Chains A and B, each alone.
Chain A
Amino acid sequence: MGSFRNRQFSPWGRIGRAEHCIARPRFRDEVPRTLADCGDHDVLPVGLGRSYGDTVLNSGKYLLDMTGLDRIIAFDRDAGVLRAEAGLSLDAALGVIVPAGWYFATTPGTRFVTLGGAVANDVHGKNHHSAGSIGCSVRRIGLLRSDGGEVELDRQSRGDLFRATIGGLGLTGIITWVELDLVRIPSADLIVEQIPFDNVAGFFELAAASQSHEHTVAWLDCANRGRALGRGIFQRADWSGQGALVAHATGQKVTLGFDLPSVALNGLTMRAFNALYWRVQKAKPTLARRHYAQFFYPLDAIGQWNHLYGRRGFYQYQCVIPPEAAESAVTELLLQITAAGAGSFLAVLKTFGRRGSPGLLSFPREGATLALDFPNRGAVTLRLLACLDAIVLEAGGRLYPAKDGRIPAHVFRASFAQGLETFVDQIDPAFNSDFWRRVST
C-alpha cells in the first residue's frame, strides 16, 4: 500500500474539496495491483479533474489518478485510429495526431481532459449535430474490473458493459485504454463566421439555417434584461482547406495562481462584462481563419481560470431541452436567471443533433443545450438552480452529471430513466463516488 497518499482533491468547480487516499500508477502492470490494494473499499478512477462537481469525488475513500498512464499504444496514421492509455490528455494527443492530418471526431471545450475521462463522461462538442458525442467514435475500450480482471469491450462483445462504460462516470471499472476513430482534417485552422442575434428566436433561426456547417455554438448575454435578453453571437465554422497542419503550442501563457476575491464577480461586473463582450464581438469581422486552439479552447489559454470565482467556487449548470420545447424553455430559463439577478459570465447555447450515442447515461440528446456558470452564493444559488431544474424537467429535458455537482436524485432519475436499470447492473461492485451515493439513495 506504499503507493497511496492522503491528499485533498477538489473538482473543477471547487465546491466540495475532500480528503482522499490517492494512488497514481505509471504503468499498466501496476493498475491491477493498485486496485487490489483497495480491497472491497470504494474506488473511483479520475483523470485531470475537469469535471465541475462531485462525479470526481469519493470523499474519504480511494481515488486512482490515471494521468500517469499516458502512453500511445498504437497510432495508425493511414487509417486514423488511435489506441492509447486512458490517462493520455487530448492536449498531448493533439500534438501527435494533428501534424499527421487527423483530429478527434469531436472535442469538448478544453483539451485538458484525459481520453478515459472523455469517454466516462461521453463528452460532446460544437459539432454534435454532425458527429454526435465522443462515444460515437469509440471502437474499443480496455476495462479493468475488480470482479473479473481486464476485459476488452466493443459494441458487439460485452455490449451492455460497453454502453454502460461510455458516459458511465467511472463506475463500471477502470478504463485502462481507449481506441478511437479519428477524422481527417485538411489544416489546423477553421473558417469561423460570427453573426450577432438579438433574441432567443434569432438564435434558433440561425441554428436551423446553419446545419450544413460542421461546428456551431453561440455565446449568450444572459446578464442584461429587457430587450438585451437572449442576444448573443452565433459562431459557425468549418475546417479550412488552407493553412498548415501545426499543432497548438503546449503549456499555458498565463496561470491564475491565486483566488480572485469573491466580490470581484458580482452582478455589476457581470452585466458590464456581458455588455462589453457583446460590443467587442459584434465589431469583429464576420469571417476569420482561426487556429483550432483559439476556436475550440479559448479558456485553456488561462491556467486555473476556475480560480476567477474565488474560494467559494462556482456551479456550472448545463441542461438539454427537446426540440419542441426548446425555444420556450430556454427563454423561461433566461427570464428566471435575470429575475434572480444572477446572470452568468459565459453562457453557451447550442443545438444537439439526432445522432445518438451508445452510452446508457449519455447526456446529449436532440434539442438545445444551455450551459451557464454561477458563482457559489450558497442557498441563494441553490434556490435558483432548483427553480431551473423544474423548468428543465417540465420541458422533458435533462442535466449533465459532469457539471453542477448537486443534481437532486429525483431529477437525475427522471432524466436518465431509460438506461438506468441496465446501467446499474453493470456497475463494478467495488466502485463508487460522492455523486453516485447521492443520486442512488
Chain B
Amino acid sequence: MSGKNTRTRRIVVLGALSTIAEAVARRYAAEGAEMVLAARNAERLGQLKDDLTARGSARALAWPVDLAALDDVPAELARMAEALGGEVDAVLLFYGTLGDQKLAEKDSAELRRIMAVNFASAAEWCVAAADVLERQDHGVLLAVSSVAGDRGRQSNYLYGAAKAGLAVLVEGLGHRLAAGGGRAVVIKLGFVDTAMTAHIEKGGPLWAKPDAIAQQLVRIIDKPRRPVIYLPWFWRPIMAVIRNIPSSIFHRTKL
C-alpha cells in the first residue's frame, strides 16, 4: 500500500463476504480506508463492519443487497459513491458462484442463475463502474474472473463461459478507459483455498492462500499495469499450455 497516498481511500467492495474480499478489505482497513461492503447477508456484513472498524477503517458501511438482482445498478452504485462522499478510488467485484453444472444441464433456472450471477449482473456493475471512473477521470475497477474461462471443459463450462465473458468485458473496459485516468483490470484466479472451493481436495503447490492473493491484489490496484492478470503468475504459462493441447488429446481427459 503506497504511503504517498495521504487522502483516505474510498472503496466499493462487491461480494464483501468472499474470503478474498475480506482479506483485501482488512488490508485497506489497516490504512484507514473508507468502504462500502456489499453482499446479501446483513448479519455477517455487520460482523465484517465491526471487525474492519476495529482494524482501523475510518468508515465501513454494511450494504446488504442482492447484487445479482437489482433493477437499476448505476443508481445503486451512485448511492454507494455518495455514501462515501461522492468519489470512489476503487470498485472491486469479488462475487460469483460455482453453481451446480450437472443440475444446470437439466434445469434452466440453475443455468440462468450461474449466468446472471457470474456474468449478466457483473457486466452491469462493471459498465456502471467504468462510467463513474470515466467521469471522475480517476480510479480502478478490478473484477475477479477465473482460469476456468480460458478453455471450456466438460466439468464447468457454464461457470467458465460466464467468467470468460466477464474477462473479455473488463478487458474491453480497460481499453475504453485507457485514454483517461481510470483503469480496469481483470484477475484470472487459479486455485485458491476459500469457502468456494471448500469441497475440493487441496494441497500441492498450485493452491494459493487467500491472504497472499489479497496482498497481490492491493499491489495491482495501486499500480494497474496490465488489463489482464493471472494470479498467481504461474497460471499464465499453465493456461497457455492447456489452451494449446489438441482437442484430440484434451477430449480424452476428465478435466
Contacts and interface: CB of A to CB of B under 8 A. Distances in A.
Contacts, number: 33
B44 A29 contact: yes
Interface in B2-61: 19, 30, 41, 43-44, 47-48, 50-51, 54-56
Interface string A1-35: 01101000000000000000000101111000000
Interface string B129-142: 00000000000000
A71 interface: yes
Contacts of B41: 27
B44 A27 contact: yes
Interface in A38-77: 71-75
Contacts of A75: 54
A2 B200 CA distance: 11
B195 A71 contact: no
B179 interface: no
A131 to B, nearest CB: 24
A72 B48 CA distance: 9
B198 A3 contact: yes
Interface string A155-179: 0000000000000000000000000
B47 A71 contact: yes
A24 B197 CA distance: 12
B30 A95 contact: yes
A391 interface: no
A71 B51 contact: yes
A397 B54 CA distance: 42
Nearest to B195: A26
A96 interface: yes
B98 to A, nearest CB: 13
A74 B54 CA distance: 6
Counting chain B CB atoms within 10 Å of each CB, which of A5, A71, A74 scores highest? A71
A26 B194 CA distance: 10
Nearest to A26: B195
Contact of B198 (A24, A72, A95, A96): A24
B252 interface: no
B254 interface: no
A72 B43 CA distance: 15
B199 interface: yes
A72 B199 contact: no
A71 B48 contact: yes
Contact of B47 (A24, A27, A96): A27
Contacts of A73: 47, 50-51, 54
Interface in A274-323: none
B195 A72 contact: no
B44 A72 contact: no
A26 B30 CA distance: 21
Nearest to A6: B201
A28 B198 contact: no
Contacts of B44: 27, 29
Contact of B199 (A5, A29, A71, A95): A5
A96 B56 contact: yes
Contacts of A96: 54-56
A306 B199 CA distance: 29
A24 B199 CA distance: 11
A73 B199 CA distance: 28
A72 B19 contact: no
A27 B195 CA distance: 11
Given A3-B198, A96-B55, A26 B19 contact: yes
Contacts of A24: 198
Counting chain B CB atoms within 10 Å of each CB, which of A2, A24, A95, A96 scores highest? A96
13 contacts: A2-B199, A5-B198, A5-B201, A27-B41, A28-B47, A71-B48, A71-B51, A72-B54, A72-B55, A73-B50, A73-B51, A75-B54, A96-B55
